[in-house]
A and B are shown apart, each in its own frame.
Chain A
Amino acid sequence: MKANLNPVTIAIIAINNDNVIYQFNEGAEKLLGYSASELLGKKKSNFFILDEEYEKFKKDIASKYKIKTSDFNPYKILAQNDDYDAREWTIVKKDGTRFIAHSTLIPLKSDKGENVGFMRILKNITDLKKIENDLLRKNQVLNAAEKITMMGNWQWHTVINKVEWSSNLFNIFGVDPKENLNFETYFSFVHPEDKEKVSISFEKSIKDKKFYDLLHRIKLKSGKTKTIQLLGEVVLDEDTGEVIELIGTCQDVTEQRMAEIKFRGLLESAPDAMVIVNDFGIIQLINKQAEKLFGYSSQELINKPVELLIPNRYKDKHSTHRDLFFSAPIAKKMGEGRELYGVNKAGKEIPIQISLSPLKTEEGLLVSAAIRDITVQKKAENKILEANERLEVLANKLTAQNTQLADFAQITSHNLRAPVSNLNSLMGFYKMAETEEEKILAFEKFEIVIHHLTDTLNTLIEALKTKNRTSIPVEKLDFNEILNKTVQILSGQIISTNTKINSNFENVTNINYNRAYLESIFLNLLSNAIKYKSEDKDPEIYVFSVLEDGAVKLKFKDNGLGIDLERHGHKLFGLNKVFHRHPDANGVGLFMTKVQIESLGGTITVESEVNVGSTFSVNFKE
């Protein structure tokens, strides 16, 4: 009947004192594989149990009732003591297979109280045993895992204030596993400096019905300090919705924490600003130097895109560069050969130098950027550049001055030494002169040389003055006005030579220039054009202004004799250089014109063809 009520098969076997089986129920048939008919009334003992287990059972009984001999019947002892025995037995079935059974051995008594035999009740617990073993094994794995990860798990029944820890948690806290735990046990280990933080966090977790993860230090009885991380969940009462339990894990993160502290220390001790970014360009970590450099606090930057620190004009390119870096992560200098800038919180751009290096972490590949403010270097560099520029200007000036000095040497060599040597020669001639006539002749010659020398010296002084003038006054001058004035001055020559002067200043009508110089340029170039006119043509002069390569040019084109530039080009603008056997040629005009033009930063050039004409071009400074 029982078997029908319970799906679990129960075997009931009864044996009398003579070891004769007198009851063998259906369940027994099923579990042991024997039929009742083949066993009932048969004298059989212990046929389905193992000898060693029987011996163990016998020993247990002996020890329980302090029996010194081995010659006794354990069943009888049980009966004498009105006791029973419950334990697991390995049962051997008829076919020889075995299973684990829970067996209860009960002595049977007659109405008179006499022992009449035993009843064994068997229940197959193989499955249960298997589950139990599984559980045991899993618990072992969990324990091992917790040991390896330095982790434990805990439950806190808040209502009864009972705390349960996994075995490794006892290890972590250095507590005897037998100790009874409550919240206060745990709290007593919390580091004094962290106690406030911890109690606030737990209160908040219970109040909000949500566990707030917690990282804090504990102080063990041994005095050792550890850092633990608590992760957890709250369990609510299904009916009231109140918190009845908190469960979670606890990990000893002392080493990670130490590693992190070391890393942080390393990061903070770096001389450069460090910004650590993930592959999406999100800032993960920055050091104090970076806070200082960019003017943000770390909270303001962490989890923000790194583009926040990059000037707008570089932003688009930067994400491409970043992708490129993550596709081939090697330590390198960023933007080698280019000038890089960061932008601080105030929006000011800072010249920087960046070294990138990949950082493999559990959260994936990160990139650490070491950023160096190179404002100072930049300033120094600019200073050097400026100094260099100044030196270049100076060098150019010196070169120009050297050229002028060479010119001057040439002038003194020819234009001054020649008349002086003539004076010497004349002196010799005068001394040797025998007649009054010869002496008068010598004096006439003296006068010519002295006059010439005076002119040359005056020209030189004027040229030197012009060259050395530091500020030459300039004003807005109208080309037409200056031309008209020049034409008036030269009107006598123009009429007598039948000269035609045409002009066109439409392209550039005026210029900021020194009045005296511009007048001198017009006068010299126009009078030259008339002076060196063709012998068989009336002079025609065309004066015009143009804008070439951003510079104003004034051109004087004539149809005169022209100059053999191959022969004379190199000395065209020299002092006292003449190229025509013209009685008025004195080689001063073009020399002074050139000096004046150059003193205002311009140049003068000439194109010419013999018997066709010349074009002088005055190129004003750009």
Chain B
Amino acid sequence: MKKNFNFCIVDDDDIYQFTIKKTIQSLNYAKSVLAFSDGEEALQFMMDNISNEEDLPDIILLDINMPIMDGFQFMDEFIKIKPKLSKKITIYMASSSVDETDIKKAHQISEISDYIIKPIKQGKIKSIIEVYLNDKEETE
């Protein structure tokens, strides 16, 4: 398996960040794991690296409830900068919220591949990465 993609976590929960990082590292798939505490930090990073294909994330696990800029606000901004991005970014919304309105709202955004309810098991991370890699192979 080629380590040719960047995994990204946007979540204000340190422990969550820690556990996901550990999971991905143990799977030994990704080139790197990026972690941001809120949407604004993540957005800032993407703006700074807008044409730096190498460092931009390929898969993002996006939390909803975060300070400064929450997951939906991040999506609003992401859709605005999307045309300028040089590569396709897969986004999963991951939240402990079981609120129907959040789930519906997430499904209405076409840029979001799926809504995952926390906690995220290791197997789920694995399948997300596998789906991504299959898609990539098909397009290549």
What is the size, in residues, of chain A's interface with B at 8 Å between Cβ atoms?
Answer: 27
* Residues of A contacting B: mostly: helix
- Is the CB of A398 closer than 8 A to any CB of chain B? no
- Is the CB of B90 closer than 8 A to any CB of chain A? no
- Is the CB of A340 closer than 8 A to any CB of chain B? no
Contact check: which of A445, A578, A579, A585 meets B15 at CB < 8 Å? A445
Question: Is A421 a contact partner of B119 (Cβ separation < 8 A)?
Answer: yes
Q: Which residue of B lies closest to A422 (CB)?
A: B15
Question: Is A410 a contact partner of B67 (Cβ separation < 8 A)?
Answer: no
| Binary interface encoding of chain A residues 559-578 relative to chain B, with 1 for a CB under 8 A from any of its CBs, else 0 | 00000000100010000011
- Is the CB of A414 closer than 8 A to any CB of chain B? yes
Interface stretch (choices A70-78, A89-97, A184-192, A423-431): A423-431
Contact check: which of B13, B99, B118 meets A409 at CB < 8 Å? B99
Q: Which residues of B contact A449 (CB under 8 A)?
A: 15
In the complex with contacts A410-B99, A449-B15, A424-B119 CB distance below 8 A: yes
A553-609 contacts to B (CB < 8 Å): 567, 571, 577-581, 585
| Binary interface encoding of chain B residues 62-84 relative to chain A, with 1 for a CB under 8 A from any of its CBs, else 0 | 00010111100100000000000
- Is the CB of A432 closer than 8 A to any CB of chain B? yes
CB distance from A382 to the nearest CB of B (A): 42
Give the CA-CA distance A425 to B68 in the complex, in Å.
26
Give the CA-CA distance A54 to B99 in the complex, in Å.
136
- Is the CB of B26 closer than 8 A to any CB of chain A? yes
Greatest chain B CB density within 10 A among A413, A424, A425, A449 is at A425
- Is the CB of B45 closer than 8 A to any CB of chain A? no
Give the CA-CA distance A429 to B26 in the complex, in Å.
10
CB distance from B28 to the nearest CB of A (A): 13
Q: Which residues of B contact A418 (CB under 8 A)?
A: 13, 16, 96, 118
| Binary interface encoding of chain B residues 12-23 relative to chain A, with 1 for a CB under 8 A from any of its CBs, else 0 | 011110111011
- Is the CB of B97 closer than 8 A to any CB of chain A? yes
In the complex with contacts A410-B99, A418-B118, A426-B67 CB distance below 8 A: no
Q: Which residues of A contact B120 (CB under 8 A)?
A: 425
Q: Which residue of A lies closest to B37 (CB)?
A: A581
Contact check: which of A409, A413, A448, A579 meets B96 at CB < 8 Å? A413
CB distance from B16 to the nearest CB of A (A): 6
- Is the CB of B131 closer than 8 A to any CB of chain A? no
Give the CA-CA distance A425 to B15 in the complex, in Å.
9
Question: Is A417 a contact partner of B19 (Cβ separation < 8 A)?
Answer: no
Contact check: which of B19, B38, B73, B98 meets A425 at CB < 8 Å? B19
CB distance from B61 to the nearest CB of A (A): 13
Interface size class of B (residues with CB under 8 A): 20 to 34
Give the CA-CA distance A100 to B57 in the complex, in Å.
150
Contact check: which of B16, B26, B65 meets A414 at CB < 8 Å? B65
Give the CA-CA distance A585 to B26 in the complex, in Å.
33
In the complex with contacts A409-B99, A417-B98, A567-B73, A422-B19 CB distance below 8 A: yes
Give the CA-CA distance A428 to B26 in the complex, in Å.
12
Q: Which residues of B contact A414 (CB under 8 A)?
A: 65, 95-97
Give the CA-CA distance A425 to B121 in the complex, in Å.
7
CB distance from A416 to the nearest CB of B (A): 8
Give the CA-CA distance A283 to B34 in the complex, in Å.
98
Q: Which residue of B lies closest to A426 (CB)?
A: B19
Q: Which residues of A contact B69 (CB under 8 A)?
A: 567
Instruction: Contacts A417-B98, A421-B118 known; list 17 others, CB within 8 Å.
Output: A409-B99, A413-B96, A413-B98, A414-B97, A417-B96, A417-B97, A418-B13, A421-B16, A422-B15, A425-B19, A425-B20, A426-B19, A429-B19, A445-B18, A448-B14, A581-B37, A581-B38
Closest 9 CB pairs of A and B: A421-B119, A425-B19, A417-B96, A578-B67, A418-B96, A422-B15, A421-B118, A424-B119, A413-B97
Where the two chains meet, the residues of B that have a C-beta atom closer than 8 Å to any C-beta of A are: 13-16, 18-20, 22-23, 26, 37-38, 65, 67-70, 73, 95-99, 118-122
Where the two chains meet, the residues of A that have a C-beta atom closer than 8 Å to any C-beta of B are: 409-410, 413-414, 417-422, 424-426, 428-429, 432, 445, 448-449, 567, 571, 577-581, 585
